[in-house]
Structure 1
Amino acid sequence: MIAFAVCSVLCLLGLSLAAIGMRDIRAASAIVYGASGVLCAGLVVVGLRVLATQADAESMRVPVGLPWLGAHLQIDALAAVFLVLLGTGGAAASLYAIGYGRHEHAPLRVLPFYPGFLGAMTLVVLAADAFTFLLSWEVMSLLSWAMVLTHHREEETRSAAYLYLVMASLGTMMLLLAFGLMAGAAGGYEFAAMREAERSPGVAALVLGLMMVGAGSKAGLVPLHVWLPVAHPAAPSHVSALMSGVMTKVAVYGFVRVAFDLLDPVVWWMSVPVIVAGAGTAVMGILFANVDADAKRILAYSTIENIGVIFAALGLALAFRANGMDVLAALALTAGLIHAMNHMLFKSLLFMVAGAVLTATGRQDLDALGGLIHRMPKTALLALVGVTAIAALPPLNGFVSEWLLFQAVLQSPNLTQPGLQFLVPAAGGLLALAAALAAACFVRFFGVIFLGRPRTNMARDAAETDRWSLAAMAGLALLCVLAGVVPGLLIDLIAPAIDLVLGARMPAQADNAWFTLVPVAEVQSSYSGFLVMVFVAISGGAAAAAVYRFSSRRTRRAPAWDCGFPDADPITQYGAGSFAQPIRRVMAPMIAARETVIMPPPGDMGPARHSVVTEDLAWTRLYLPLSALVGLAATRLNALQFLTIRRYLALVFASLILLLTGLTIWN
């Protein structure tokens, strides 16, 4: 299996090099995206086989990289879970791109980087030493940065790409420090050596903090999220689907690998920052999604929310593990990994929907759309599946993972520390608030885009998207339904990965009647997505039949009612701002929302004006002052360029003394 996976990576990297010399754009798109999809499907097969057979870890050493180290690669159950996730998302995005790529204005700015990006993410998952992991991580960051910069002639795109590059560099530096601490003075850069090393709780806490910053900056944890809402909308839609659905999960993989596999079992208080950061990120992400009016930026903010849910689950798993409650830790970790897979499915689907709408209308601002359910009925149906899943409504997959997480939260009284007994239910309340806001957000998202009347001529004249795009979206929608109706199969599939890092797993679910999910005990909690689906189908069908049978058959038409004035202008409909206003006003302190109303006095013929400004406090209170400080320091340090030779030698000597002193203290 490891050999096949490595060959797939080499083929993806080779495909990137081959794409540079291709001149026939149409043929190049079909070849590059088609081959990438096939190779990603192969990765899915590899991951499924490792999980289904519960095979032992396979390793390989490739004689490249550092001379004394080489590149160590390995597939175990945890890597296999993320290979399935990566391969599924990559195959769907590649299939979608065959059609969507025909509408891309600069396809040759994407094609050389796309397969390499997939290959680099795969290498991160396969890496079994720090050097290979960090090198692959950096290549992944640089190739995704190049694709964010596709529409480089736009000022917003250049700014987004620059910010992404800065945050990616920060994350890589933190990862480098974390792996350096785990390797220790002996320099054991292989993961196997890191597992065996002994560390004090202080060093373990520092490593965990560095991993939260390093992996969290790539995943989108608040306040490290500032690049994500600008970079994801700037990239082409199939790249946005990969970055949001897959790349953020590679960051989650890095955190899980270190926190649950390479570090010693952490002390309970180390889980507190993870839980707090996760719950806070979930609420802040979905708040900004509710008040934004750009379709792709809404989806990017929603990714931040879902990353928060995943990290909250991981923090809860760390807390249970520190207390020796391995079965409950397995429940929380299962919820986190299942939600990572579910988010890949429905978020990739929704970014593809946004791309299809952008292709058909040329617009992605909600208030320029409307009525697309009549012009793009197939896309609208698939979008409905996606928004139902992401809103965590049964019987789709988003509900399953969040329900599992809340089952773990309800077990928090079993924790022995009073601080955790208070913190976990409070975090659960924040997660429940985030879930409610997510439902409101995507009612607005679907309603403003697809329902009502077209607000612009572009929306009125839209046409259905191509067959390739529809096929990719339909495949993801089907997986959303299956993962929600028969979740037990997915839970049993990833159980070997949970067992690998915790030594425990959830009870087997495959043999439960009616595909019932029983996470703890049947008398305490159970859920059957299949029975919920049957109930929804029967009750919905019966209601529709009753309405059709007993309602009046005479069609009645009248002008739209608008506060007493019949007005057919589509601008009188509720828009994105209309839906967002109640939430924006209630949550104004958290998002620094300011409304300004200018109402001219009687007799003044000037126009009335209403403006709304929201502010990301992390950007204005943290990053802008930090940027100003860095600029000031750089200006002051500029004097170092004009020193004499004697002063340069003195600086070198002082630096050498400082390094030797640090090395002595370390030893």
Structure 2
Amino acid sequence: MYLQGAALGALVVAAALAAGLRGTVLAIVYPVAAVAAVVMGVVDLGVLLQGGQLAARLPIGLPTIGGFHLRLDPLSAFFGVVINGGVLAASLYGMGLDRAKDLTPRVEPLFPLFAAAMNLVLLADDAYAFLLSWELMSLASWALVVARHTSVENRRAGHLYLVMAAIGTTALIFAFGGLAGPAGGYAFDTIRAHAPAPMVAVLVLTAALIGCGSKGGLVPLHAWLPLAHPAAPSHVSALMSGVMTKVAIYGFVRITFDLLGPAAWWWALPPIVLGAITAVLGLLYAVFDRDLKRVLAYSTVENVGLIFVALGLALAFRANNQNAAAAVAMAAALLHVLNHSWFKSLLFLGAGAVLHATGRRDLDGLGGLIHRMPRTAVFFLIGALAISALPPLNGFVSEWLLFQSVLAAPAMPQITLNFASPAIGAMLALAAALAAACFVRVYGIAFLGRPRSAEAAHAHEVSLPQQIAMGGLALLCILGGLFGSVIVLGLAPVLTTLVGSGLPNAGTGPTPFSLIAFDAARSIYDAPIIALFVAIASLTTLVVVHRLSERRTRRGPAWDCGFPDPSAATQYTASSFAQPLRRVYGAVAFSARETVVMPPPGDTRPARFSVTLVDFVWTTLYVMPGRAVLRLSERLNALQFLSIRRYLVLMFAALVILLSIATVMT
């Protein structure tokens, strides 16, 4: 705990120094943050593998609970590994940024503060420390979102983020208030000792789902995420999307599986249903969008949905005392938390490299980058394959475990869960297919083909530190896929703490790297063997093709449907690539309409094609209430211009009403 405190202190000192300094000396922030992340990550990993805990108490905070309680247990240690891995990658990437072009003095002081706040949330062992750290994390990330405040888009994103953060924190205040009870025991040990009444527990679960779901991006509380994550600097976007959303997952797990007490089976329905809807809608948003960073942000919404489905299944299995199945579902959730932090951070850093090299985020202005940014293209491809859940990369391992837990759901005694499990499985399968289509589209439009703009044609590779950060994450995506069984074994202390059991047959497969969900007869995954098979099949195909084909290499123009045109505009665009999916799903989910204006023969005016999408979630839950509040405020604005006599009448009427209420109540 002393090493953790020293590393956190170093981050705070770096933030304070950066706030008072200017110029190139600000570059010390990223080396300090990287070293602090390594130190805290090593401590977290040690606590996770040993299954122990560290505790401390600071003489600050609420006097009624005896100070500011801190504790590092296997659950917080696992999420600490996730967070500090992301901080390390973002710090390495930050070392290679062009200070004149990519950064502002508003970014460096807040970067270490943001990292420290996320770690403090994990260490908090009482409600006051948790909420204080949570708010510090929200404010630091909000300030990073609006760091380039001259942009109207950034200011709008920051405003919406601040509103949603306030709603989430308010919900968490109610959640901890319900957990503390009338006695006001805000220390987590006190909360664990006194389980709330059933009705209070339901209200706490609802508040936790709102508070943590709003920060994580759960539909319909996701509206801020596709605006705020792209608005932040790219290495901060990687932290917000790949790491900060995991702090929200941690908050939900801590409250639901640790503090709330024994669960009822139907508590699992809201996270399962909302998670499945979030997974599908997140990817539909991503498939139809043309902004590279916004596509990645919507993809985060989808992955958060997958994690909530797994957590809901774990909750249902635990309520039915099916500990082995609960361990599989919880392992899927935690492993996807780790895997998503790797491949989503990699993809956001890759998007930052594209933005740095071209100055563009719109997919239709990119193309051909594989020739000008070959290393970035390879790293981005690995991330795209991983997030598409293709074996043998890491995204497949966690989603395979998730599907194993879905297949086990019909064994639960409740008819509702039996009926819902096939539908949930179908929605998750649809989400997996949409993810593959989404990232084929992203990679094909951005990196393949011909440049669609002058900026893309003159793109260049990014600096060495940025390549190292992306390369390290790409390597983790590969190793995490090959050795997922080893990672699951390391999760045993967390699984035992949360659901009372580890994976039933972990480590008993035919090879040391076999991952077994339930038993080897029906659920086994051996990534190295699959990787070897893929390598042999690919090499064999390559050799056969070269043997049967001509030795001579010929070059010719690309097929252009018989209409030779040197313009890059004749290529597929992001919109045209998404058109089949838009016609199938967009009409139902977004009332998608395609309008074609075709001039008559002989008319030299250009034809026009436009697409209209309606976001019902945004319109119904945000735009309409916002307009209602605005109209109400305009009407109440007349109260500012009353005479003194009318103000006295209003005060007298209010006094009469209050006295009447008091009389009735007594």
Q: TM-score, normalised by structure 1?
A: 0.95
The residue number in structure 2 matching 1:22 is 21
Superposition map of 1:246-645 within 5 A: 246-507=243-504, 509-510=506-507, 512=509, 513-588=511-586, 589-638=588-637, 644=647
Q: Decide whether the 8 Å contact of 2:409 with 2:418 is kept in 1.
A: yes
1:47 to 1:655, Cα distance in 2 relative to 1, 3 A: farther
- Structure 2 distance, partners of 1:341, 1:8, is 22
SS at match of 1:612: strand
- Structure 1 distance, partners of 2:61, 2:648, is 36
What is the CA-CA distance between 1:267 and the residue it aligns to? 1.0
The residue number in structure 2 matching 1:94 is 91
The residue number in structure 1 matching 2:55 is 59
Match of 2:33 among 36, 47, 58: 36
What is the CA-CA distance between 1:195 and the residue it aligns to? 1.2
The residue number in structure 1 matching 2:146 is 149
The residue number in structure 2 matching 1:188 is 185
Q: Decide whether the 8 Å contact of 2:505 with 2:517 is kept in 1.
A: no
- Structure 2 distance, partners of 1:632, 1:182, is 37
Superposition map of 1:86-125 within 5 A: 86-102=83-99, 104-125=101-122
What is the CA-CA distance between 1:184 and the residue it aligns to? 1.1
Q: Decide whether the 8 Å contact of 1:514 with 1:531 is kept in 2.
A: no
Is residue 207 of structure 1 aligned with residue 192 of structure 2?
Answer: no
Q: Decide whether the 8 Å contact of 1:13 with 1:119 is kept in 2.
A: yes
The residue number in structure 1 matching 2:168 is 171
Amino acid at match of 1:415: M
Amino acid at match of 1:583: L
Q: Decide whether the 8 Å contact of 1:492 with 1:508 is kept in 2.
A: no
What is the CA-CA distance between 1:656 and the residue it aligns to? 11
Q: Decide whether the 8 Å contact of 2:505 with 2:518 is kept in 1.
A: no
Count of equivalent residues:
659
Q: Decide whether the 8 Å contact of 1:244 with 1:303 is kept in 2.
A: yes
* Deviations 1:187-243 (CA, angstroms, capped at 9, x unpaired): 111111111223222221111111111100000001100111111111100000000
What is the CA-CA distance between 1:510 and the residue it aligns to? 4.2
What is the CA-CA distance between 1:573 and the residue it aligns to? 1.1
Q: Decide whether the 8 Å contact of 2:160 with 2:224 is kept in 1.
A: yes
Amino acid at match of 1:601: P
Amino acid at match of 1:439: A
Decide which moves more: 479-488 or 642-651. Answer: 642-651
What is the CA-CA distance between 1:647 and the residue it aligns to? 5.3
1:626 to 1:93, Cα distance in 2 relative to 1, 3 A: same
Q: Decide whether the 8 Å contact of 2:178 with 2:196 is kept in 1.
A: no
1:606 to 1:108, Cα distance in 2 relative to 1, 3 A: same
What is the CA-CA distance between 1:269 and the residue it aligns to? 1.2
- Structure 2 distance, partners of 1:190, 1:659, is 36
What is the CA-CA distance between 1:313 and the residue it aligns to? 0.4
Q: Decide whether the 8 Å contact of 2:292 with 2:361 is kept in 1.
A: yes
- Structure 1 distance, partners of 2:207, 2:653, is 33
What is the CA-CA distance between 1:114 and the residue it aligns to? 0.6
Q: Decide whether the 8 Å contact of 2:102 with 2:356 is kept in 1.
A: no
* Deviations 1:103-160 (CA, angstroms, capped at 9, x unpaired): 5444211011110000111111111111111111111111101010022111111111
- Structure 1 distance, partners of 2:662, 2:562, is 78
1:541 to 1:652, Cα distance in 2 relative to 1, 3 A: farther
SS at match of 1:517: strand
- Structure 2 distance, partners of 1:396, 1:570, is 33
What is the CA-CA distance between 1:508 and the residue it aligns to? 5.8
- Structure 2 distance, partners of 1:657, 1:334, is 58
- Structure 2 distance, partners of 1:359, 1:432, is 35
Amino acid at match of 1:80: A
- Structure 2 distance, partners of 1:262, 1:660, is 41
* Deviations 1:71-96 (CA, angstroms, capped at 9, x unpaired): 11111110000000001011011101
Q: Decide whether the 8 Å contact of 1:289 with 1:301 is kept in 2.
A: yes
RMSD: 2.1
Superposition map of 1:217-228 within 5 A: 217-228=214-225
- Structure 2 distance, partners of 1:637, 1:270, is 41
1:183 to 1:639, Cα distance in 2 relative to 1, 3 A: farther
- Structure 2 distance, partners of 1:644, 1:455, is 65
Amino acid at match of 1:222: V
Amino acid at match of 2:575: G
Q: TM-score, normalised by structure 2?
A: 0.95
What is the CA-CA distance between 1:441 and the residue it aligns to? 0.4
1:568 to 1:39, Cα distance in 2 relative to 1, 3 A: same
Decide which moves more: 119-128 or 584-593. Answer: 584-593
1:525 to 1:170, Cα distance in 2 relative to 1, 3 A: same
SS at match of 1:622: helix
1:521 to 1:185, Cα distance in 2 relative to 1, 3 A: same
Decide which moves more: 598-607 or 632-641. Answer: 632-641
1:114 to 1:654, Cα distance in 2 relative to 1, 3 A: farther
Decide which moves more: 236-245 or 632-641. Answer: 632-641
SS at match of 1:68: helix
1:158 to 1:537, Cα distance in 2 relative to 1, 3 A: same
* Deviations 1:618-637 (CA, angstroms, capped at 9, x unpaired): 11122111111222333344
- Structure 2 distance, partners of 1:393, 1:572, is 31
Amino acid at match of 1:569: S
What is the CA-CA distance between 1:473 and the residue it aligns to? 0.5
What is the CA-CA distance between 1:648 and the residue it aligns to? 5.3
Q: Decide whether the 8 Å contact of 1:233 with 1:240 is kept in 2.
A: yes
- Structure 2 distance, partners of 1:245, 1:336, is 15
- Structure 1 distance, partners of 2:234, 2:42, is 26
Q: Decide whether the 8 Å contact of 2:118 with 2:134 is kept in 1.
A: yes
1:20 to 1:279, Cα distance in 2 relative to 1, 3 A: same
- Structure 2 distance, partners of 1:648, 1:553, is 95
Amino acid at match of 1:357: V
SS at match of 1:392: coil
The residue number in structure 2 matching 1:159 is 156
* Deviations 1:471-528 (CA, angstroms, capped at 9, x unpaired): 0011111111111001111111121111112221113634641511011000111001
What is the CA-CA distance between 1:329 and the residue it aligns to? 0.8
The residue number in structure 1 matching 2:239 is 242
- Structure 2 distance, partners of 1:254, 1:653, is 45
Amino acid at match of 2:291: D
What is the CA-CA distance between 1:655 and the residue it aligns to? 7.7
Q: Decide whether the 8 Å contact of 1:559 with 1:568 is kept in 2.
A: no
- Structure 1 distance, partners of 2:21, 2:251, is 35
Q: Decide whether the 8 Å contact of 1:559 with 1:567 is kept in 2.
A: no
SS at match of 1:64: coil
